Structure 1
Amino acid sequence: MRSLSAIAFAGLLVVVASSTPVSAQQPAPDTASVQVRALRMLRDSTERVRGSIAQFRRDLAMAGEQTVVGRARRLTQSCAGLRVAVAQATPLLQPPPTAHGGLVAAHRELLAAMRTTDSVLRTECEQGLSATGPGQWADSLKAWGPYRTSQIHRSLASVDAGLAGFAQAADVKLTPNGR
C-alpha cells in the first residue's frame, strides 16, 4: 500500500512539474551572461568577416572571374551576418542603470565602433562589392577589392578594441578563439 502511495505521489510530482512553464522552472539569465553571449556573437561574426576577407584576397590577381565573384559573394554574406549581429547585440549590451562610469564609457565607445562598422559594411561590402555599375564585375572586384577590404579591416579593429574595452569594464573574460 505504501509503495502505491509513493508511486501516486511521484506521478503527481511529474504532472505538476510538467505543467509548470519552463520560464518558471529556470531563472532568467542575468545581464552579465546575456552580455557575454552578445560579445561573443560579435567577436565570432567579426572573425567570420576576417576569414572571408582573407579568402577573397588570396591570389586575387591570378584568380579567375568565377572564383573572384564567388569569394565576393561569400564576403558579402559574412558582412551581412555581422550587420545582423550588430543589430541584435546593440540592445543586449545596454549597461544597467547602476553601472559605473567606466562601463558606461566603454559601452559608448563600443556602440560608436559598431555604428561606424555597420556603415562601412554597408558602403564597402554591400554596395562596393555588388554587381551593379559599369565595367566587368570581376575586374572591378580585383581593382577595388583590396581598398574595400582594408577599409573593412580597419573598422573591425575598432570593434575589437571596443569589445575588449567593454569586456574589461564589465569584468568579463572573453577567451581568444574560445567560449
Structure 2
Amino acid sequence: MKGCYFPKSNFLSTKRGNSGSFLWISLIWGRLLLEKGSRWRIGNGRSVFVYKDRWILHLTTFKVFSPHVLGKDTVEADLKTANGDWRADLIRDSFSLEEADVILGFPPCYSDLLDRLLWYFEKSSGFSVRSGYWLARNSLSRPSCSGLSGFESWWNFFWKIHLP
C-alpha cells in the first residue's frame, strides 16, 4: 500500500488523493476519525506542535485558531522558560486573549514526562469501538447523497453480527 498510496510520506500525513480503492478510502476515513477524537496530554512539550496538533482545550477542536505568529515548527516546550514556567508575555503576544488564558491556566509540567496522545471520548483516555462509533455517527459529515440509506443499513448489519 505504501508504494501505491503514500510513497513519499507516511500514513498519518498522506492525503486521500483523487482515486483509491474502497479499502484505502475507508482507512483514510478511520484515520480522520482518530485524529478528531484524540488530543495531546502535555508532558515535557517537546513532541506537540503548537499550531498543528490538538492540545489546547478550546471547545471541542483542541486546536489553536490564532494567526500563526510563531514558526510552524514551534512546540509547546518553546512556550516555557528553562525552569518550566510559562513565558506569559510571549503567549499573550502570540495567541488570542481566550487561548492565552486557557494556555496560562494549564499548570506547567516540571517533570520530563513524555507527551501522550489520548482519546478524548473515554474516561480511561483509551480508544474504544463504542466511543469511536459514537463519534463517527455524531460528528463526522455523513454522505449527502442518496447513498445514506445504504450507509445506515450497512452499519445496522455490521452491529448485528455475532462474533465469538
Query: Which bracket does the TM-score occupy, shorter chain normalised?
Result: under 0.3
Higher relative contact order, structure no. (Cα contacts within 8 Å, ≥ 6 residues apart): 1
More helix, by proportion? 1
TM-score with structure 2 setting the length: 0.26
Larger Rg: 1
TM-score with structure 1 setting the length: 0.25
More strand, by proportion? 2
